[in-house]
């Protein structure tokens, strides 16, 4: 087995001392009491002590107190003959620094002396210099130096010029998993054929052929490990120091990934901070501004470049130190607590909403201009005061129609206490069996438009008693135009509706009397016209007979006859059609309806369709004929005036002795609950009821209108 050759001439004491003091590692020896006997000059660099300050001093005085127990245990094991490598503890330097140390030591029982080499684990440069020094002086060291080489924490092997392994230390066995006897005397390329075409092979060859030191890190795939390698040319070959840095590399990779992740997160955070509606400012513990977002520029009127790096309080207006904001910022920083508050700042003349959070680096400050919010709150307080005093019921409703507040008048009006209403939908409490579903649908649709509206609806109290409400709904929006809530004002109009009902009954009676009088008068006038025209026609007949018999002046008689004839025709067409009832004479209801629709269609304003299937043999009495004709006439007039319709469908049919008239238009519709001027609809209802029938209207805004009339054939 090949071994490292050692010169037979031992170095002088001066040479050993020179090597001893030139080592970058601390080389020292201790007596059986643990006191320094010798210590190399490296202790100055590593611990800050001169050697003479340590000679005779117990080494435990330098060991950190927390490491005493493990150090004593290790020393005990060494004195019992156990060689110790890679033992770690911490030393206190003269200047107070704490230095991690890696020790290799053995005990000389004969001389009762412990020999140690200590490395500053935090100084990689010291390790590299030590490796280079070891390689250069390897063949000049005595047996003691060779023993120290065996105890270094790095793996080490030596190659000759043909890359045959001449030395393989204990750490090489541990790190590479190959015994010394398996390596010594073997060619490196033979035992590691996979090393060709890798950084290991190229750097070994470079160090040998160019006689230069090379340091590198590389991954060796067969071992699935990373190695940190230092290669140094030596007499007749190269020396290789190496260590397994796989965990370090993986940790470095994790760190890089983490830093990339943090960088990406920071980028996302910046995007969030720049897009938020809040002003955001970051300051360090010395009140220096480290971040100033776009919204801070807008709210405070100070540009980012004017703020960054400057003292926060120097940027803000003078007198700010007297403000509540100043005190709260100082409290958040000194006490490390998060604080939220609102304050009015005279220097800016606006209200702020502030959220201050302590951080490891200082403070994060979020703020908003809430002037509009404060004004809205003030207005709301005033409105609430008015709402409390009014006799009308006041309700605040969320966009999803949940109650948030009611006044005392609401409780008096409905019997429901606030706690029974808040969180519920008013409609669920107040609607009942008599509530019109068309009106309910209309209210639901109006809420969706987010526009003010008014409606009358039948509601029910908690006791079940019905009452009429006049409901006014007003939407409320925030500064951005987003719907915040609805304001509802409800008035009890039960008495008014009762009076209107009574008035409607009286009006119907009056209207019936008026209609009867009108019809009677029209019939009388029509009768008179009929009789008068008949007399004129009789006179014309006599004139014509005179002409036939040649009596009198024929030309004069003909002229008189023609004049009388024209007067009769004109008077019959204008007055009889306008004043007389359509049922006069032998004309049927179907013919009257068709004639009326033809007259309306002639205006060109409506497209009218008529369905009178199976009505050809149906007769009705004069009163029913007249009622249906007048109702249709009135309704068509209303359509032309108000509906803005394009088409009308008219259906006339006989159902088991009852004449049914249905008129459907595609106009703009109307709210049938709202009080309307005029008596047209009342007249139609009265005509139907006077004929023992009934009339109904079904309409809503935007939904057209449907008229239904049912009257027994013979009244």
pLDDT of residue 391: 79
Q: Could you say which of 492, 507, 524 is where a domain stops? A: 492
**Angle formed at CA 444 by CA 442 and CA 447, multiple of 5 degrees:** 110
Is pLDDT larger for residue 671 or for residue 308?
Answer: 308
Asked if 364 and 379 sit in the same domain, the reply is no
For 403, the domain range is 374-492
Q: What is the spatial distance between Cα 669 and Cα 654, in angstroms, rounded to a whole number?
A: 28
Q: What is the spatial distance between Cα 100 and Cα 91, in angstroms, rounded to a whole number?
A: 6
Residue among 307, 351, 356, 348 at smallest CA distance from 330: 356
Asked if 395 and 349 sit in the same domain, the reply is no
- Whether residue 217 is contained in a domain is answered as no
- Phi, psi at 346, each rounded to 5°: -60, -35
Asked if 412 and 435 sit in the same domain, the reply is yes
- Whether residue 345 is contained in a domain is answered as yes
Supply the mean pLDDT for the chain. Answer: 83
Asked if 440 and 340 sit in the same domain, the reply is no
- Whether residue 76 is contained in a domain is answered as yes
Asked if 385 and 339 sit in the same domain, the reply is no
- Whether residue 2 is contained in a domain is answered as yes
Indicate whether 528 pLDDT > 60: no
Asked if 485 and 629 sit in the same domain, the reply is no
Q: Could you say which of 152, 178, 204 is where a domain stops? A: 152
The mean pLDDT of 682-701, rounded to a whole number, is 88
Q: What is the spatial distance between Cα 13 and Cα 40, in angstroms, rounded to a whole number?
A: 14
The mean pLDDT of 379-391, rounded to a whole number, is 64
Indicate whether 525 pLDDT > 70: no
Q: What is the spatial distance between Cα 153 and Cα 181, in angstroms, rounded to a whole number?
A: 20
Asked if 440 and 348 sit in the same domain, the reply is no
Is the pTM higher than 0.85? The answer reads no
Indicate whether 584 pLDDT > 50: no
Confidence of residue 673 (pLDDT cuts 50, 70, 90): confident
- CATH no. for residue 650? 3.30.565.10
pLDDT of residue 104: 92
Asked if 669 and 653 sit in the same domain, the reply is yes
Indicate whether 389 pLDDT > 80: no
- Whether residue 83 is contained in a domain is answered as yes
Q: What is the spatial distance between Cα 27 and Cα 37, in angstroms, rounded to a whole number?
A: 11
Asked if 329 and 430 sit in the same domain, the reply is no
Q: What is the spatial distance between Cα 36 and Cα 53, in angstroms, rounded to a whole number?
A: 10
The mean pLDDT of 100-125, rounded to a whole number, is 86
Asked if 300 and 396 sit in the same domain, the reply is no
How many other β-carbons are positioned within 10 Å of the β-carbon of residue 412?
Answer: 11
- Whether residue 231 is contained in a domain is answered as no
Tokens encoding 62: 């330098």
Asked if 352 and 442 sit in the same domain, the reply is no
Indicate whether 154 pLDDT > 70: yes
- Whether residue 300 is contained in a domain is answered as yes
CB 278 within 8 A of CB 294: no
- Whether residue 325 is contained in a domain is answered as yes
Query: Which alpha helices (H) appear in 138-245, and where do they start and end?
Result: 143-150, 170-176, 180-183, 188-191, 199-210
- CATH no. for residue 83? 3.30.450.20
Count of the separate structural domains present in the chain: 4
Indicate whether 388 pLDDT > 90: no
Confidence of residue 7 (pLDDT cuts 50, 70, 90): very low
pLDDT of residue 3: 43
Asked if 48 and 107 sit in the same domain, the reply is yes
Q: What percent of the chain has pLDDT over 70?
A: 84
Q: Could you say which of 369, 402, 437 is where a domain stops? A: 369
pLDDT tens by residue, 430-469 = 999 999 999 999 999 999 999 999 999 999 999 999 999 9
């Amino acid at each position: 087995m090949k071994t490292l050759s050692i010169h037979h001439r031992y170095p002088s004491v001066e040479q050993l001392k020179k090597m001893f003091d030139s080592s970058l590692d601390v080389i020292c020896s201790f007596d059986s009491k643990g006191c320094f006997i010798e210590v190399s000059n490296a202790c100055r660099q590593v611990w800050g002590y001169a050697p003479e300050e340590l000679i005779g001093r117990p080494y435990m005085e330098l060991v950190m107190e927390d490491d005493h127990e493990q150090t004593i245990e290790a020393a005990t094991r060494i004195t019992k003959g156990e060689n110790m490598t890679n033992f770690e503890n911490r030393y206190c330097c003269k200047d107070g620094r704490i230095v991690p140390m890696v020790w290799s030591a053995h005990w000389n029982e004969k001389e009762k002396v412990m020999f140690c080499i200590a490395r500053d684990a935090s100084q990689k440069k010291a390790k590299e210099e030590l490796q280079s020094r070891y390689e250069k002086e390897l063949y000049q060291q005595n047996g003691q130096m060779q023993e120290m080489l065996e105890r270094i924490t790095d793996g080490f092997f030596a190659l000759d010029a043909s890359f045959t392994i001449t030395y393989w230390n204990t750490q090489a066995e541990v790190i590479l998993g190959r015994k010394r006897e398996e390596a010594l005397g073997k060619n490196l390329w033979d035992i590691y054929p996979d090393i060709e075409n890798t950084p290991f092979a190229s750097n070994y060859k470079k160090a040998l052929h160019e006689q230069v030191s090379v340091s590198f890190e590389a991954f060796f795939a067969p071992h699935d490990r990373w190695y940190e390698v230092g290669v140094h040319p030596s007499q007749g070959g190269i020396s290789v120091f190496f260590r397994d840095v796989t965990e370090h590399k993986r940790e470095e990779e994790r760190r890089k990934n983490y830093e990339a992740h943090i960088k990406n997160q920071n980028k996302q955070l910046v995007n969030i901070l720049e897009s938020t509606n809040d002003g955001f400012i970051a300051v360090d513990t010395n009140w220096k501004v480290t971040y100033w977002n776009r919204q801070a520029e807008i709210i405070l009127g100070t540009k980012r470049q004017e703020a960054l790096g400057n003292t926060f309080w120097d940027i803000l207006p003078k007198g700010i130190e007297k403000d509540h904001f100043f005190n709260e910022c100082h409290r958040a920083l000194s006490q490390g607590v998060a604080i939220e508050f609102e304050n009015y700042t005279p220097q800016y003349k606006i209200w702020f909403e502030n959220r201050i959070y302590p951080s490891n680096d200082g403070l994060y400050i979020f703020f908003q201009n809430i002037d509009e919010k404060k004004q809205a709150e003030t207005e709301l307080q005033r409105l609430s005061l008015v709402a409390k005093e009014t006799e009308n019921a006041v309700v605040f409703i969320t966009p999803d129609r949940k109650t948030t507040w009611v006044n005392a008048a609401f409780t008096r009006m409905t019997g429901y206490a606030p706690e029974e209403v808040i969180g519920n939908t008013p409609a669920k409490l107040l609607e009942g069996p008599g509530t019109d579903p068309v009106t309910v649908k209309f209210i639901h649709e109006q809420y969706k438009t987010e526009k003010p509206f008014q409606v009358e609806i039948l509601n029910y109290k908690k006791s079940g008693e019905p009452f009429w409400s006049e409901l006014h709904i007003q939407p409320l929006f925030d500064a951005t135009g987003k719907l915040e809530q609805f304001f509802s004002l409800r008035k009890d109009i039960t008495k008014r509706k009762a009076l209107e009902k009574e008035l409607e009954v009286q009006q119907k009676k009056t209207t019936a009397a008026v209609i009867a009088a009108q019809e009677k008068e029209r019939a009388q006038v029509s009768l008179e016209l009929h009789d008068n025209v008949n007399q004129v026609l009789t006179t014309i007949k006599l004139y014509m007979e005179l002409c036939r018999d040649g009596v009198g002046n024929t030309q004069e008689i003909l002229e008189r006859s023609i004049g009388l004839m024209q007067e009769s025709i004109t008077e019959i067409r204008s007055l009889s059609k306008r004043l007389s009832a359509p049922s006069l004479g032998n004309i049927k209801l179907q013919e009257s309806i068709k004639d009326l629709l033809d007259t309306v269609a002639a205006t060109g304003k409506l497209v009218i369709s008529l369905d009178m299937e199976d009505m050809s043999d149906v007769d009705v009495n004069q009163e029913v004929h007249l009622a249906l004709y007048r109702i249709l006439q009135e309704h068509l007039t209303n359509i032309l005036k108000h509906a803005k319709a394009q088409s009308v469908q008219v259906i006339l049919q006989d159902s088991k002795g009852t004449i049914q008239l249905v008129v459907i238009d595609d106009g703009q519709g109307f709210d049938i609950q709202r009080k309307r001027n005029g008596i047209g609809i009342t007249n139609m209802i009265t005509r139907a009821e006077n004929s023992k029938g009934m009339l109904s209207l079904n309409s809503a805004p935007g939904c057209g209108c449907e008229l239904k009339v049912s009257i027994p054939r013979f009244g």
